[in-house]
A and B are shown apart, each in its own frame.
Chain A
């Protein structure tokens, strides 16, 4: 099995550790295998080790322990300029004393490419990001979004097989960011390049990636495609970090046929899917996505456990309604409903009953 996966591995981290001060590990035992052409996002809060991993891959930080391989060969001792990895930086790092064309031409010049070939490639790269007319400008004369495109073109112009992006959209406003997310993904898939993308924005991670690695405390907490990550979080951290999430705390009563009976702290019983609980008596945190909560009894399946809830607040958000409830002593229980013509707008103070499918309710670690 291990051998089979290694044959199509393009980027590999094997038991990689990193410490800056010799006392604390910033990256703890990282193992990651990426096939060619994958768009992988490293997602996590600041200080979780994701940027350090990226810098180790780029060659700007050395791994304290372990092996990093690119295309099957270890690159631990190869200096950054010989790795042939394209990189897009958070602040773009466009050279301010060069024009856009000179910026793009730089990686080709250091590769001793002929002038006519250089010009052709620069032109093609500029056209690719729809910036063909801007070759003679200076970076300071461009807007943030335009600089972002140029940074992207510069990282791609020398045709690297692997491109690293360190929060490249962090400095853009929301609308532009969404547009660029779309463009970067399309470009990456069209060119067939492998991308490692670092961000702390979970929406960005979900919309762009083939797979997402959620980092916390120097470890990958979960590595999965976006839908699995959102719908089947493997632990409480991932459930909390990705998307909005309701948690209820309780104790496992029994586990039967893949269904766990959990007694919540106020005594109510609910059915859950056991994810990382194994035996009765364990403390657990039950996680339910706000949009999977149902209060229309007709839509609930027969025999589903229901809980009593009091409506505390109703927020109209346009496309959806966001309602805050008190459920089993938790005042921050959120449900989201689509703004459909027949949808009921719950009034604060109303007593309702809520329920869900047992498989949407996941019993995770406490």
Chain B
């Protein structure tokens, strides 16, 4: 009672301010909660946040040029890439020093590889010259300009110097520009010629096909989810097992079976020919194109659509439909005006799940997509594991991440993220 009559902070029974006393009591709880999630937090930090951060960093990282050719970069500062003259003796001397140092620890190939991404052909010049320069005495044996050009006339090409100059910074937008079919040259940012463009097409194709797959999943999944939510429990459980069955089979097995089913000498074509719908010489092309990817991925991602829709539909009481009908609505009006709006959160949750999974899907498009049905993830994988251009792969990945976040934001604006329910 005295607590309320006093001015100032309310005191606990022992005279300490109530707020501090409460904070003390809650601190233990918070600590315990933190301890419980700590392992997972650490796991996510190590396996998710750090790699994603590293990827984002790699997509702009360009330290290799400065690290391997420090003197050349400094010497090039005074050279104007817009001029028609190749740089002078001082730059070549610096290059000779850098190349000898680099060749001795064999890192000249790395910078060669980096610059080769921007100007194909540079790698061989660097590699061939590096081997020779290792034996030079770079202190006394001038003039380097003539000797280097003599060694490999590629050094006399002004484009080579422009490339080095353009990519001498510690950070670059080059990878990102590459990833959207543009190019950072001495004269600034330009769009690549038509025959070199590939990434925009791939990105748009990935988005378009993911949307098609998402809509196919909605169309196929909605009736199934409705059945699941409205059948008696026993039957619904049986049906649920059928829905979950694909999860118990390996993804590779499922994708391979689609190959068997869809190929031109496959089961579906055989049946169609046998029935007589399709001529034997005119078999349908169902695989190694966009159609194949869409069919196989719709099948594989369908459970991710059905489950959230089902759990939302389960919460919609059947009396709503009855009420609508008793108020004079036909079956269709009752469904469309009363049932469907309440099931939208489930469709939203399923769509986000399926779309995000589809955008990053890799194995299935690689196996059944051919050249026309592959996704941007297949290109990312190519750059990470085959071409070794990690920076470009990272930039593509970062763009994909940005697009998904953007779509997520748009979805939040239109539908509202509060309207997403997983049950």
Contact of B326 among A81, A91, A95, A97 (CB under 8 A): A81
A110–B322 touching, CB < 8 Å: no
A110–B319 touching, CB < 8 Å: no
A270 in contact (CB, < 8 A)? no
A179 in contact (CB, < 8 A)? no
A218 in contact (CB, < 8 A)? no
A158–B327 touching, CB < 8 Å: yes
Residues of chain A lying within 8 A (CB to CB) of residue B317? 91, 93
Contact of A80 among B326, B333, B341, B342 (CB under 8 A): B326
Contact of A97 among B325, B330, B331, B341 (CB under 8 A): B341
Residues of chain B lying within 8 A (CB to CB) of residue A93? 317, 319-320, 322-323
Residues of chain B lying within 8 A (CB to CB) of residue A107? 327-329
A80–B325 touching, CB < 8 Å: yes
The 8 A CB mask of A75-94 against B (1 = contact, 0 = none) is 00001111011110111010
A348 in contact (CB, < 8 A)? no
B128 in contact (CB, < 8 A)? no
B337 in contact (CB, < 8 A)? yes
Residues of chain A lying within 8 A (CB to CB) of residue B363? none
B401 in contact (CB, < 8 A)? no
How far does the Cβ of A80 sit from chain B's closest Cβ, in whole Å? 4
A106–B329 touching, CB < 8 Å: yes
The 8 A CB mask of A54-87 against B (1 = contact, 0 = none) is 0000111000000000000000000111101111
CB closest chain-B residue, reference A157: B327
B240 in contact (CB, < 8 A)? no
B328–A111 touching, CB < 8 Å: yes
- In angstroms, Cα B334 to Cα A59, docked, is 15
- In angstroms, Cα B324 to Cα A79, docked, is 13
Given known contacts A91-B319, A93-B320, A95-B338, is B326 in contact with A110 (CB within 8 Å)? no
A97–B333 touching, CB < 8 Å: no
A96 in contact (CB, < 8 A)? yes
Residues of chain A lying within 8 A (CB to CB) of residue B328? 81-82, 84, 107, 110-111, 158
B319–A89 touching, CB < 8 Å: yes
Which B residues from 313 to 360 make CB contacts under 8 A with A?
317, 319-320, 322-331, 333-334, 337-338, 341-342
CB closest chain-B residue, reference A102: B337
How far does the Cβ of A71 sit from chain B's closest Cβ, in whole Å? 17
Contact of B325 among A81, A111, A154, A158 (CB under 8 A): A81
How far does the Cβ of A154 sit from chain B's closest Cβ, in whole Å? 7
Residues of chain B lying within 8 A (CB to CB) of residue A82? 328
CB closest chain-A residue, reference B344: A97
B325–A89 touching, CB < 8 Å: no
For chain A, the bracket of interface size reads: 20 to 34
- In angstroms, Cα B328 to Cα A84, docked, is 7
Residues of chain A lying within 8 A (CB to CB) of residue B322? 58, 60, 80, 87, 89, 93
Residues of chain A lying within 8 A (CB to CB) of residue B325? 59-60, 79-81
What is the size, in residues, of chain B's interface with A at 8 Å between Cβ atoms?
19
Contact of B324 among A58, A97, A106 (CB under 8 A): A106
Q: How many A-B residue pairs have CB under 8 A?
A: 63
- In angstroms, Cα B120 to Cα A296, docked, is 119
Residues of chain A lying within 8 A (CB to CB) of residue B331? 81
- In angstroms, Cα B343 to Cα A92, docked, is 19
How far does the Cβ of B107 sit from chain A's closest Cβ, in whole Å? 64
How far does the Cβ of A88 sit from chain B's closest Cβ, in whole Å? 9
CB closest chain-B residue, reference A164: B326
- In angstroms, Cα B325 to Cα A85, docked, is 10
- In angstroms, Cα B329 to Cα A164, docked, is 17
B333–A110 touching, CB < 8 Å: yes
Given known contacts A97-B341, A97-B342, is B327 in contact with A106 (CB within 8 Å)? yes
Residues of chain B lying within 8 A (CB to CB) of residue A91? 317, 319
B327–A154 touching, CB < 8 Å: yes
Which A residues from 95 to 128 make CB contacts under 8 A with B?
95-97, 106-107, 110-111
How far does the Cβ of A159 sit from chain B's closest Cβ, in whole Å? 12
Between B320, B323, B326, B329, the greatest number of chain A beta carbons within 10 A of the residue's beta carbon is seen for B326
Between A58, A81, A154, the greatest number of chain B beta carbons within 10 A of the residue's beta carbon is seen for A81
How far does the Cβ of A107 sit from chain B's closest Cβ, in whole Å? 4
- In angstroms, Cα B320 to Cα A95, docked, is 7
How far does the Cβ of A338 sit from chain B's closest Cβ, in whole Å? 44
Residues of chain A lying within 8 A (CB to CB) of residue B338? 95
Residues of chain A lying within 8 A (CB to CB) of residue B329? 81, 106-107, 110
A85–B326 touching, CB < 8 Å: yes
CB closest chain-A residue, reference B338: A95
Residues of chain A lying within 8 A (CB to CB) of residue B341? 97
B323–A89 touching, CB < 8 Å: yes
Between B317, B328, B337, B338, the greatest number of chain A beta carbons within 10 A of the residue's beta carbon is seen for B328
- In angstroms, Cα B339 to Cα A93, docked, is 12
B342–A58 touching, CB < 8 Å: no
B326–A58 touching, CB < 8 Å: yes
The 8 A CB mask of B199-233 against A (1 = contact, 0 = none) is 00000000000000000000000000000000000
Residues of chain B lying within 8 A (CB to CB) of residue A60? 322, 325
A110–B342 touching, CB < 8 Å: no
The 8 A CB mask of A7-38 against B (1 = contact, 0 = none) is 00000000000000000000000000000000
A81–B330 touching, CB < 8 Å: yes
B333–A86 touching, CB < 8 Å: no
Residues of chain A lying within 8 A (CB to CB) of residue B319? 89-91, 93
Residues of chain A lying within 8 A (CB to CB) of residue B324? 95, 106
A106–B326 touching, CB < 8 Å: no
- In angstroms, Cα B322 to Cα A155, docked, is 12
Between A60, A84, A158, the greatest number of chain B beta carbons within 10 A of the residue's beta carbon is seen for A60
CB closest chain-A residue, reference B341: A97
- In angstroms, Cα B322 to Cα A264, docked, is 53
B320–A106 touching, CB < 8 Å: no
- In angstroms, Cα B342 to Cα A93, docked, is 13
Residues of chain A lying within 8 A (CB to CB) of residue B326? 58, 80-81, 85-87, 155, 164
The 8 A CB mask of B244-272 against A (1 = contact, 0 = none) is 00000000000000000000000000000
CB closest chain-B residue, reference A84: B328
Residues of chain B lying within 8 A (CB to CB) of residue A155? 326-327
How far does the Cβ of A275 sit from chain B's closest Cβ, in whole Å? 40
- In angstroms, Cα B326 to Cα A84, docked, is 7
Residues of chain B lying within 8 A (CB to CB) of residue A164? 326
CB closest chain-B residue, reference A60: B322
Between B324, B325, B331, the greatest number of chain A beta carbons within 10 A of the residue's beta carbon is seen for B325
- 18 more A-B contacts (CB under 8 A) besides A81-B326, A84-B328? A58-B322, A79-B325, A81-B325, A81-B328, A81-B331, A85-B326, A89-B322, A90-B319, A91-B319, A93-B317, A93-B320, A97-B342, A106-B324, A110-B327, A110-B328, A110-B330, A155-B326, A158-B327
Q: 21 A–B contact pairs at CB < 8 A?
A: A60-B322, A80-B326, A81-B326, A82-B328, A86-B326, A87-B323, A91-B319, A93-B323, A95-B320, A95-B323, A95-B342, A96-B342, A97-B341, A97-B342, A106-B327, A106-B337, A110-B333, A111-B328, A155-B327, A158-B327, A164-B326
Q: Sort A-B residue pairs by CB-CB distance and give the 6 closest, nearest first.
A: A107-B327, A93-B323, A87-B326, A93-B319, A80-B325, A97-B341
